[in-house]
Amino acid sequence: MLSAVLTAALAIVACNATTVSDKSFDARVKAYLIAHPEVIEEALQKLQAKMAADDAADQAKASARLPQLRAAIERDPRDFVANPRGAITVTEFYDYRCPHCANVAPKVLALIRANPDIRFVFKEMPIFGATSEHAALAALAVKKAGGDYLAVYRAFMAARPLDVATIDQIAQRLGANPADLADYPAGKAQIADVTVLFKKLDLGGTPSFIVGDEIIPGEDMDALNAAIAKARRAAGAPPARAA
């Protein structure tokens, strides 16, 4: 944020300055900002307004795409689903090495336990590099072997640091085939498809939740519970128990 503000401030200075040498430019900018601190405030306000407008536009575009992507979001048979007979569907895109995902994970598990009629779809979306992808593939390998997927989710989210050795140890303990941990083409294809879906929805980061026609970014459980309550009212179902 500060870098963007300074960039904007520099642009304002440049627009108000005459030609200066490269050697003296930094000093002139610094002197100008010290003399006119309101420039930074003005740049910050404009940046915040632009970011808010961009976020709103992205949210509107993503929401408009939801109906045509509904089946991929909620009904991909490759995904693990908790409470598969639930009437209200919640989908989460997450990365095991994302600190916000780790923070919200215990609340997600509590929500699933307390509300068996919430059908919860897990979307492996590794965004933090090769180790994150290895963790996602390991979780899918446990699912393939018929192991306890929720136990993998819980353990991976709690393990810090989550490195390859820890991932493999947990996954094998929960039933994964070591050969799948070394190479799992079907898992890679699934993650590639989720990545395409993630980009089509302009989600931008993890965790991201989808309930009906609403997208809830980040670890905002109040917003998630509100979206679930709205979906329940629309379905005529009893209220959810908040996580």
Q: 150: which 2 tokens?
A: 């929720």
Whether cis (ω within 30° of 0) applies to the bond prior to 161 is yes
Alpha carbon distance 200, 193 (integer Å): 11
Q: Show me where the domains of the chain are located.
A: 2-63, 75-235
pLDDT digits (tens, 9 = 90+) for 117-141: 999 999 999 999 999 999 999 999 9
CATH dotted code for 75-235 = 3.40.30.10
pTM, to two decimals: 0.76
Identify whether the C-beta of residue 92 lies closer than 8 Å to the C-beta of residue 227. Answer: no
Terminus-to-terminus CA distance in the chain, angstroms? 32
Q: Looking at residues 106-110, what average pLDDT do you find?
A: 98
Strands (E), the chain: 80-82, 88-94, 118-124, 208-211, 214-217
pLDDT digits (tens, 9 = 90+) for 162-179: 999 999 999 999 999 999
CA atoms within 13 A on the CB side of 161: 4
